[in-house]
């Protein structure tokens, strides 16, 4: 019997029925609340310091016959890509489901990125649920498919999808997980593994995708136009001829061609990139179908940003003259409440002591906000953990490179930047913002390893380490410390401690 559930709840219940032994991941919306709910519901959840480690743990569990899930936001999948790509041809044992949390509109991300492209890169299956029911069914189907084919399975989610509510009939529990088949990979050299994947695994995958019940199609006789959609955006579609895809890779070619035949035009509704749209265009060309494909590439839908119901409703009536950028550009309303505050006196002191135009490398996390809000001390920021390496590069100008990095960013991957700066004798000042939480996307679990932060920094061998309590230090003390270290040559680290508070208190 079905009952109303949120997508998040349905997904967690399905994973419990799938006998998942381990969930690994890294906090970041839309996965933060999902990971916390998994733990609250009794699943074993380990929040890792970075995504490559998280996926490696999941693969290790799989190798000893334990089903595993790894969950990370889209930029975290970038970090996990190394073992992910290799796992496609090196084989697994028990099922591995990789949940890719995307952020249409980049509400709380450093870029708007579509993780579905990793399915093409890795040649792995990609499930795209569109409601709570397909979230639950897709999770279990993904674990089953993973075990049948001996590869990880990807599943794309978004925040609106996991918050969506709808009727859910939970799938049947899964039986025992299979053992790892070592010979699948290690009886073959690398090129032969790729050949095996394409010759043996890929045809089975294509056949499965064609027959999957995760797809949903309706089309009346003599239809002349239709809509193909996937993911949460499917819920924005109101059209009598509508194909909802359950997989975005590989595409179900026979199902798509059957739907497209006889149509004069078809609208592709998807977030974020024109991923399915490009695939449908290719099928139309290969099969010589006389159908016009409309979507983000034609200007019928906005090329960037989160789709809304009004975009879809107006799409077929539009006569675009190019790409459509008719979307609302606005900051997330949660920025004022994230616990990134507490370091404002430090930012102000840094702004006052640095020469005008002196570059500062921010890190993705709280410090990136001071690229937008006063004092605007951050010159650039690229990814979590990169600011120290960026500052080392900046030091080639002859001045002292300055890096701002959060404590979790340092543990994530900043430590390698510090080691590198010391090894090559760069002249940098590293300011570690120490508030003991992952403040930009805070979850319920403390970030482990924070207490070892100073020991890790000392082990890297910087020239000097200073500690300062921002809540207690006077502006003169902060400026005096920064001026002293900026004038000296070497790798200097300042551990700046502060109690986290809502960032809005510092915006004014």
Q: Which two tokens stand for residue 268?
A: 């592709």
Q: Give the tens place of pLDDT for each residue, 267-285.
A: 999 999 999 999 999 999 9
Say if residues 22 and 147 touch (Cβ distance below 8 Å). Answer: no
Confidence at residue 400, expressed as pLDDT on a 0 to 100 scale: 96
Bridge partners, residue 267, by sequence: 227, 294
Q: Among all chains, which residue has been given the structure tokens 């006196």?
A: 345
Confidence at residue 158, expressed as pLDDT on a 0 to 100 scale: 96
Confidence at residue 457, expressed as pLDDT on a 0 to 100 scale: 95
**Mean pLDDT calculated for residue range 46-53:** 93
**Where residue 6 falls among pLDDT bands split at 50, 70, 90?**
very high
Closest CA to 144 of 201, 195, 97, 78: 97
Confidence at residue 340, expressed as pLDDT on a 0 to 100 scale: 78
Residue 443 has pLDDT above 80, yes or no: no
In the chain, % helix, strand, coil (3-state, to 5) comes to: 40, 20, 40
**Where residue 335 falls among pLDDT bands split at 50, 70, 90?**
low
Q: Give the tens place of pLDDT for each residue, 140-185.
A: 999 999 999 999 999 999 999 999 999 999 999 999 998 888 888 8
**Where residue 501 falls among pLDDT bands split at 50, 70, 90?**
confident
Strands (E), 196-287: 216-218, 225-230, 242-245, 247-249, 265-269
Strands (E), 105-214: 126-127, 153-158, 165-168
Confidence at residue 331, expressed as pLDDT on a 0 to 100 scale: 63
List the domains of the chain with CATH numbers.
3-211 (3.40.50.970), 216-315 (3.40.50.920), 344-507 (3.40.50.970)
Q: Classify each residue of 201-212 as buried b or exposed e, where b means 16 or more C-beta atoms within 10 Å of its C-beta.
A: bbeebeebbbeb
Question: Going by C-beta distance under 8 Å and a sequence separation of 6 or more, which residues neighbour residue 376?
Answer: 351, 370
Residue 119 has pLDDT above 60, yes or no: yes
Q: Is the dihedral of CA 202, 205, 209, 214 positive or negative?
A: negative
Residue 508 has pLDDT above 50, yes or no: no
């Amino acid at each position: 019997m079905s009952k109303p559930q949120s997508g998040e709840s349905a997904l967690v219940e399905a994973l419990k029925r799938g006998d998942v032994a381990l969930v690994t991941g890294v906090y970041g919306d839309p996965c933060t609340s999902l990971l916390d709910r998994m733990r609250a519901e009794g699943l074993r959840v380990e929040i890792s310091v970075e995504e490559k480690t998280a996926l490696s743990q999941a693969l290790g569990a799989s190798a000893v016959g334990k089903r595993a899930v790894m969950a990370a936001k889209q930029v975290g999948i970038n970090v996990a890509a190394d073992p992910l790509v290799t796992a496609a041809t090196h084989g697994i044992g028990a099922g591995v489901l990789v949940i890719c949390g995307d952020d249409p509109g980049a509400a709380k991300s450093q870029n708007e990125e579509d993780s579905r492209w990793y399915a093409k890169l890795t040649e792995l299956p990609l499930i795209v649920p569109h409601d709570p029911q397909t979230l639950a069914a897709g999770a279990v189907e993904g674990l089953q498919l993973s075990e049948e084919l001996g590869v990880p399975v990807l599943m794309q989610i978004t925040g609106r999808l996991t918050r969506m509510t709808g009727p859910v009939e939970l799938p049947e529990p899964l039986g025992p997980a299979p053992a790892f088949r070592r010979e699948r990979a290690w009886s073959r050299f690398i090129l032969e593994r790729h050949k095996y994947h394409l010759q043996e695994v890929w045809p089975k995958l294509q056949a499965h995708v064609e027959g999957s019940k995760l797809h949903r199609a309706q089309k009346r006789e003599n239809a002349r136009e239709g809509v193909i959609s996937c993911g949460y955006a499917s819920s924005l579609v109101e059209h009598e001829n509508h194909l909802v895809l359950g997989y975005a890779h590989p595409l179900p070619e026979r199902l798509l061609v059957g739907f497209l035949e006889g149509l004069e035009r078809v609208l592709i509704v998807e977030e974020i990139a024109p991923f399915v749209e490009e695939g449908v265009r290719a099928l139309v060309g290969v099969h010589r179908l006389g159908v016009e494909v409309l979507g983000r590439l034609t200007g019928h839908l906005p090329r960037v940003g989160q789709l809304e119901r009004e975009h879809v409703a107006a799409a077929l009536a539009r006569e675009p003259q190019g790409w459509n950028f008719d979307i609302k550009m606005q900051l997330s309303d949660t920025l004022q409440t994230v616990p990134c505050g507490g370091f404002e006196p430090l930012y102000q002191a840094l702004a006052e002591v640095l020469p005008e135009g002196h570059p500062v490398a921010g890190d993705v996390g709280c410090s990136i906000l001071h690229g937008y809000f006063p004092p605007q001390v951050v010159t650039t920021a690229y990814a979590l953990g990169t600011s120290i390496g960026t500052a080392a590069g900046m030091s080639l100008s002859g001045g002292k490179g300055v890096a701002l990095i959060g404590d979790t960013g340092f543990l994530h991957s900043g430590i390698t930047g510090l080691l590198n700066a010391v090894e090559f004798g760069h002249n940098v000042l590293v300011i570690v913002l120490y508030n003991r939480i992952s403040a930009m996307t805070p979850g319920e679990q403390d970030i482990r390893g924070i207490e070892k932060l100073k020991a890790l920094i000392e082990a890297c061998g910087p020239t000097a380490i200073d500690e300062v309590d921002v809540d207690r230090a006077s502006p003169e003390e902060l400026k005096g410390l920064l001026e002293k270290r900026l004038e000296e040559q070497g790798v200097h680290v300042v551990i700046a401690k502060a109690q986290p508070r809502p960032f809005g208190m510092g915006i004014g």
